[in-house]
Amino acid sequence: MTFPSDLEIARSVQPRRISAVAADLGLADDEIELYGPTKAKVSLKAIERLEAANPRGKYILVTAITPTPLGEGKSTTTVGLAQGLNRIGKRAAVAIRQPSLGPVFGIKGGAAGGGYSQVIPMEDFNLHLTGDVHAIGAAHNLAAAFIDNSLHHKNPLGIDPFTITWPRVVDISDRALRKMVIGLGGRENGVPRETETVITVASEVMAVLALARDLADLRARLGRIVLAQRTDGTPVTAEDLRVAGAMTVLLVDAIKPNLLQTLEGGPAFVHCGPFANIAHGNNSILADRLALATNDAVCTEAGFGADMGAEKFFDIKCRASGLRPDAAVVVATIRALKMHGGVGKIVAGKPLDPLLAVENVDAVRAGAQNLAKQIENVLAYNVPVVVAINAFPTDTPAEVAAIQEVSLAAGARDAVVTTHWAEGGRGAEALARAVWSAAEEGAPEFRFLYPDEAPLRDKIEAIATRIYGAAAVEYQPAAAKALKQYEEMGYGHLPICMAKTQYSLSHDANLKGRPTGFTLPIREVRLSAGAGFITPLCGEMRTMPGLPSRPGGENIDIDAAGNIVGLF
């Protein structure tokens, strides 16, 4: 039997009118802005009204083991869990990120969930939605244009061109734009200098929008963005360049959360999409606040493994929002744990290694040490953990039992097999009951990994040793100089947003499982003063992906009836 594609499943469901979904949440007609019948934006005033009127729901984070290039079904589990919670009588919502067009047309495909646990309309979700990403790109590039314009007009701010750190952005994977020389062609075409282009979801403006509490906070954060330095070493901000106000104007609609729905008609908030291996990897604070004010439970997702998105959720997002999680789910698949245990190889776009479909309890048990470490990482914040075993047809009872044994020994409350991909909410009811039980007990003394006042090096080393399992941290001279400079400039209180590979607990994607004894190299450190964090770059990290030899965009087209085809 051939299982229908995600797109076919999404189109098989007649969605509810989004106005009806909004009404169920207690939103008034004048608090939503319709973008057709199936999606809407919600006003910021509605968030304030609903927070004042309603108790806060349970805040549930969905994270994962160190993933393979195929992913472990984290988005699918987030949606499935919310559907399962609704089925057991709890009003539950999804709060997730909007995907970048780069991965959609590159190697990953869609990010709306999968199977019978998706957010719809699937095509809109994965493509332009309500235009937020484009607005973010426009605001970012406006600041870049202002910098070069200031240089052209006699440089009144005394900007040192060699210190400009503000790139340009585009939301397509385009490796040819990674490094560029601009301003060529004569005096009227600008001042020649080297620069780069990064993907829009890696923009600091994206990170700022996701962390902003309201429009005034957004305006203030944009003004604090450091774009360059003067020749005397002092920072040049977007406020100094007098561009922060115009940037804010471009984002007055983008700051409003987007309301969609799941396949089963429950609410889904889709807002912002910062990368997790470069930026903080979480959806917006505003969307979470809105969801928490209108539901018994909110399932939100953090990018990649618990060492990446979850650590940043706890140490960056929760610091900015003041919100505290009640429970966390760590998603695992048996095929990924086998790979971490040294069996088989998983390459996106290529057939799955046959060894991964053969029972191998020893490999699962060995690879599950990665799961154990990710459970420990969440418990470091005193948040209760439930493991979701995202089931595949080739899984065996003995392999499942091995995961459950390792999970419980590592401190998880439960480890539950889920079939939400094939069965929707019905396949996540057992997970929903376990998660609700954990959330009801909650985390009475949630704790951050490090205090605000700790030196930047101590914060980096806390993440490296306690979350990644490193033995030591090694700083390249440029990184050490930057850390000293940022502390002298008054940014030492900021949290850390590590940039490293998502495919290992370490900086080296080849180190699978639970590596130990390694030294984490920090080659560069960047300041994101508007977003409010410091970003150390570990090993070789790129802020502009490239397309694979066979981009996913080759499959995307329009059929004779005008329907989008080829999205997965």
Catalytic residues: 74, 76, 97, 108, 276, 304, 392, 421
Q: Estimate the crossing angle of helix 204-211 against helix 132-152, to 10 degrees.
A: 130
Distance CA 258, CA 243 (A): 26
User: DSSP for 441-491?
Assistant: H--TT---SS-TTS-HHHHHHHIIIIII--SEEEE-HHHHHHHHHHHHTT-
> Which residue do the tokens 């590590």 mark?
498
Q: Which amino acid does the sequence have at 8?
A: E
Cβ–Cβ under 8 Å, residues 111 and 104: yes
212 Cβ neighbours under 8 A, 6+ residues apart: 218, 221, 255, 284, 285, 286
Residue 515's SS3 state is coil
CA distance 311 to 306: 6
Q: Are the C-beta atoms of residues 277 and 509 closer than 8 Å to each other?
A: no
Beta strands in 313-362 (DSSP E): 327-332
DSSP letter assigned to residue 3? P
The label of the residue with tokens 């060699």 reads 162
Quote the CA–CA distance of 82 and 117 in Å, as a whole number.
9
Cβ proximity of 227 and 238 under 8 Å:
yes
Which residues, 6+ apart, have CB-to-CB distance to 286 below 8 Å? 44, 47, 212, 213, 214, 255, 256, 257, 271
In the chain, % helix, strand, coil (3-state, to 5) comes to 40, 20, 40
In this structure, the number of other CB atoms found within 10 A of the CB of residue 163 comes to: 15
**Which amino acid belongs to residue 90?**
K
Q: Please state, as a whole number, how many other Cβ atoms lie within 10 Å of the Cβ of residue 27.
A: 22
What single-letter DSSP state applies at residue 23? H
Q: Which two tokens stand for residue 486?
A: 């940022």
Q: How far apart are CA 304 and CA 306, in angstroms?
A: 7
* Residue 53 burial (10 A CB sphere; 0-12, 13-18, 19+): exposed
Report the alpha-carbon distance of residue 526 to residue 89 in Å, rounded: 46
What does the alpha-carbon distance between residue 144 and residue 247 come to, in Å, rounded to a whole number?
A: 11
Cα atoms in the 13 Å half-sphere on the side-chain side of 400: 15
